[in-house]
Amino acid sequence: MTAIDPTTSLIAETPRIPRRWLVYMGRAVLAVALVLAWEAGAQSFGSVFFAHPVDVVKRIGEIAASGQLLTDIIATLRVSAFGFVIGCSVGLLLPFLLRHSERWTAAIEPYVMASQGIPKYALAPWLILWFGIGDTPKVVIVTLMVVYIVFITTFAGIRSVDQRLINMARIAGASETAVSREVIWNSLLPFFFSGLKVAMPRAVSACIVGEFLVSTDGVGHYIEHARELSDTTGVFAGIVVATALVLAINMIVEFLERRALRWRPVERDMEI
Amino acid sequence: MGDGAFLEIRNLGKRFPQRQGREPSPWVIKDLSFTVKEGEFVTIIGPSGAGKSTLLNMIAQIDVATAGEIVFQGSTIMTADPKAMRPGLDRRIGYVTQDDNLMPWRTALDNVLFALEVQGRLDDKSREHAAMLMNAVGLSGYEKYYPHELSGGMRKRAALIRTLVYDPPIILMDEPFASVDAQTRTQLQEDLLRLWSLGRKTIVFVTHDIAEAIALGDRALVLTRQPTRIAGEHMIPIPRPRNVKDIFALEGFAALYERIRAQVQ
């Protein structure tokens, strides 16, 4: 009779290939599959409906070499960033101000929610009328896209703050400012970052759609210009650039999130 | 009552606001009176739901009383206006709550230093004092751990010294050791007694555990069920320093325990 050794039966073996690498391999396989599907689409529908991946890569190489890629990316990032920062600031500040008055909150909230229903892009002609054809109308649209998301997630964060922690901080002698900065800010950070991750790609998309309507440069301008010329490869190249842009910004947001929330318990299995 | 009273509760009453369309809410606490002397360790025993936390919340100024008076260090501190409440009364009232309420984004040490930080009293001397307290309760080496990385007992210790470190004249404790296992609890009780013997703070310690009330206190008050009043008062003549582990075997413990148990319903 053999005794069962509890250490071997209970503790799972360490996988031979680290989990991290399995995830990377999975991603690579998916990427290859997507490119192959794309190529298959191009083969069966023709390059007018579906640009070949190779052509798209070549095109991106060309506009990168000519400097147009950088100019367009900077233009798009400039507008997105402005709108994003304004939208974030307002979306963050407003809940902090409303926190002190339930009456004001009750009075204002339905208007905030109702104004959310306004189709932002439909405002474009009117915004151009007001602000001309510079960056401003696009910045306004991006701001409007971002502000609601940040406002709603921040408000949810503030409402979820543990009142016991606030009481504890007050008893320890914290001023209202210290309570806001320490307890409320840290409690809502996870909510705020979820909001950022939703808002950020929308800010870039809003900017690109804005550029369809009015622009002289930018990734959206490049796509729209290519569309006018029935240049499918150009449209695809623009879309790939926009996607890459969103991915890159998302990586920055996630990096910041990891740094700000390093106190959070991480489940080992979730970590990659 | 005399001038010996450090904290005096006079005919305190509490009922929560009436909800629309309901019967007037009953009195949770009614005509509750007791005094606490400076440097005294008073334990309050009450059945669950006796309004023990509500009582401490009112003393700590995070809840308003409906009737009566609370006098602390010679001045009336009770107020019926929630906006006029001064939680912790300018750091003069410390409060160790039932849940440890550590801030999950701060490390153990940073949680302990929080009060000193917001009070602008963080310097080399106070840091040294904090380190001494961390060491006294066996938290040395865990300074940089986040609360979720600590055991329940360690979190309780951190919560305890977080209040001790800024040295408020009176500390309220609301069943601080209720949610840990028996062995850890005995250890925490010994830690508390050792820390208390260093400074002899005034402590009001609420518990539902009769043995704990006897082991820790100079005097034990027994509460009735709602509406809560004082059902009885018992001096605890056990000499200090006390050994929490052996307290059951001491002469007089059993009789005292029985007398209190008869009053707790």
For B103, the closest of A175, A186, A189 (CB atoms) is: A186
Does residue B219 sit at the A interface (CB-CB below 8 Å)? no
- Report yes or no for ipTM above 0.85: yes
- CB of B97 within 8 A of CB of A164? yes
* A184: DSSP letter: I
| pLDDT at residue A137 greater than cutoff 50 | yes
Round to whole Å and give the CA distance between B85 and A171.
Answer: 11
- The share of chain A scoring above pLDDT 70, in percent, equals 91
Q: Do A171 and B105 touch (CB under 8 A)?
A: no
Q: Note whether A174 contacts B118, CB cutoff 8 Å.
A: yes
In three-state secondary structure terms, A105 is helix
Q: Chain A within 8 Å of B99 (Cβ-Cβ)?
A: yes
Would the CB atoms of A263 and B105 count as touching at under 8 Å?
A: yes
Q: Is the peptide bond before B82 cis (omega within 30 degrees of 0)?
A: no
What band does A82 get if pLDDT is binned at 50, 70 and 90? very high
For A248, list phi and psi in degrees, rounded to 5.
-65, -45
Provide the token pair at A177.
Answer: 């400012």
Chain A contact present for B19, CB below 8 A = no
Question: Do B172 and B93 meet the contact criterion of CB atoms below 8 Å apart?
Answer: yes
Contact A172 B118 (CB under 8 A): yes
Mean pLDDT of A238-250: 93
CA closest to B144 among chain A residues? A263
Residue of A160, A161, A164, A168 to mutate, testing the B interface (most B Cβ within 10 Å of its Cβ): A168
Do the Cβ atoms of A169 and B118 come within 8 Å? yes
**pLDDT string in tens for chain B (265-residue length):** 445 689 999 999 998 887 777 778 889 999 999 999 999 999 999 888 778 999 999 999 999 999 999 999 988 887 777 788 889 888 999 999 999 999 999 999 999 999 999 999 999 999 999 999 999 889 999 999 999 999 999 999 999 999 999 999 999 999 999 888 888 899 999 999 988 988 888 999 999 999 999 999 999 999 998 889 999 999 999 988 888 888 888 888 999 999 999 998 7
Query: Does B101 reach chain A within 8 Å, measured CB to CB?
Result: yes
Q: Across residues A115-134, what is the average pLDDT?
A: 87
pTM of structure: 0.83
pLDDT (0 to 100) of residue A13 = 55
pLDDT at A49: 86
The pLDDT of residue B4 is 64
Distance from CA of B1 to the nearest CA of A (A): 28
Residue type, A122: A
Chain A environment of B149 (Cβ under 8 Å) = 265
Q: What is the pLDDT of residue A47?
A: 80
Is the Cβ–Cβ distance between A183 and B127 less than 8 Å? no
Structure confidence at residue B2 (pLDDT) = 47
Residue of A164, A171, A193, A261 best to disrupt the B interface, most CBs of B under 10 A: A171
Query: Measured between alpha carbons, how far is B70 from A138 in angstroms, rounded to an integer?
Result: 61
Question: What pLDDT is attached to residue A2?
Answer: 47
Task: Give residue A206's pLDDT.
Answer: 92
Interface membership of B144 toward A (CB under 8 Å): no
Q: Find the residue in A nearest to B115 (Cα).
A: A172
pLDDT band for A6, please (50, 70, 90 cuts): very low
Q: Is the pLDDT confidence value at A75 over 70?
A: yes
- Is residue A191's pLDDT more than 60? yes
Task: Look over chain A and give the mean of its residue pLDDT values, rounded to a whole number.
Answer: 88
- What pLDDT, on the 0 to 100 scale, is given for residue A132? 87
